[in-house]
């Protein structure tokens, strides 16, 4: 069943897990139907910050009806969220977008790649694929890492950092190339656009199926405003243009279908 509604979410807990990065657990009905790679819209109470803030779902506890949002403070809205305390309420639009096709890739060698704030949704994806042959590659700027220990519950873990202070010096693809015994059938990734472009190119050159989760500024989150379009390889059957909406057709795309 597909669930999408605006509900009050009740804060269960919140903690700062890295410099400026917060882990927020919220009780919300949408958690029971959320899929790996989907996101929610969180509304600030400050009326001067009118629009919702899209935040990826890090993981869910479906039995408890709760979801975890791990986000970076980047502006006025997320600064407000960082002050939320236990039992506070917040308005949430859940669940949004299409996630990773976890059921389609089972039985294969699966590589998950996350860079920076693109790491959180990959944790929920690793959790959904627990028991499969999964290898998680996580990229950081330095040794101020977060969530990496939690990935160990569900997959093998490989780290990369820009300054070489943890794991392989470089990016997640450098770490994958250094893992000579890992031969992926499928790559699933979320992170900054340069990283996703490199993964798309690498997958095409090595005949690997890749799914990438795109990030973009969003206003409505439901496809009405057309503020988060990206270029596609093929023309849309309805509009006859090479565009698609990240918030509704995405954020996860087959890498061969988007022009990034």
* pLDDT reported for residue 227: 61
- Taken in order of first residue, the domains within the chain and their CATH numbers are 5-96 (2.40.30.10), 105-213 (3.40.50.80)
* pLDDT reported for residue 48: 76
* pLDDT reported for residue 231: 67
* pLDDT reported for residue 7: 83
CB 21 within 8 A of CB 70: yes
* pLDDT reported for residue 106: 95
Q: How far apart are CA 17 and CA 104, in angstroms?
A: 32
* pLDDT reported for residue 242: 72
Q: Is 259 exposed, middle or buried (0-12, 13-18, 19+ CB in 10 A)?
A: exposed
Each as own residue / partner, the long-range contacts of residues 81-86 (CB below 8 Å, 24 or more positions apart, any chain) are 81/22, 81/24, 81/42, 81/44, 81/53, 82/14, 82/16, 82/22, 84/11, 84/14, 84/24, 85/11, 85/14, 86/11, 86/12, 86/13, 86/14
Number of H helices, E strands in the chain: 5, 15
* pLDDT reported for residue 249: 76
Listed as ranges, residues in the chain with pLDDT below 50 are 1
* pLDDT reported for residue 50: 73
Q: What is the pTM of this model?
A: 0.92
């Amino acid at each position: 069943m597909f669930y999408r509604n605006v509900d009050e979410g009740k804060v269960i807990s919140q903690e700062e897990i890295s410099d400026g990065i917060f882990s927020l657990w919220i009780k919300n009905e949408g958690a029971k139907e959320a899929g790996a790679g989907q996101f929610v819209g969180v509304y600030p109470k400050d009326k001067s910050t009118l629009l919702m803030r899209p935040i990826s779902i890090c993981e869910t506890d479906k039995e408890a009806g709760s979801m975890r949002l791990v986000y970076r403070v980047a502006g006025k809205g997320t600064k407000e969220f960082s002050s939320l305390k236990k039992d506070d309420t917040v308005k949430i639009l859940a669940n949004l977008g299409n996630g990773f096709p976890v059921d389609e890739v089972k039985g294969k060698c699966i590589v998950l790649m996350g860079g920076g704030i693109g790491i959180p949704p990959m944790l929920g994806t690793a959790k959904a694929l627990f028991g499969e042959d999964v290898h998680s590659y996580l990229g950081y700027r330095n040794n101020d890492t977060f969530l990496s220990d939690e990935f160990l519950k569900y997959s093998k873990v490989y780290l990369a950092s820009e300054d070489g202070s943890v794991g392989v010096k470089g990016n997640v693809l450098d770490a994958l190339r250094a893992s000579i015994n890992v031969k992926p059938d499928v790559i699933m990734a979320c992170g900054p656009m340069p990283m996703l472009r490199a993964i798309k190119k690498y997958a095409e050159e090595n005949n690997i199926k890749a799914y990438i989760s795109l990030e973009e500024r969003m206003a409505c989150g439901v496809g009405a405003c057309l503020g988060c379009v990206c270029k596609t390889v093929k023309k849309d059957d309805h509009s006859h243009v090479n565009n698609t909406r990240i918030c509704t057709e995405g954020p996860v795309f087959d890498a061969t279908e988007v022009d990034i």
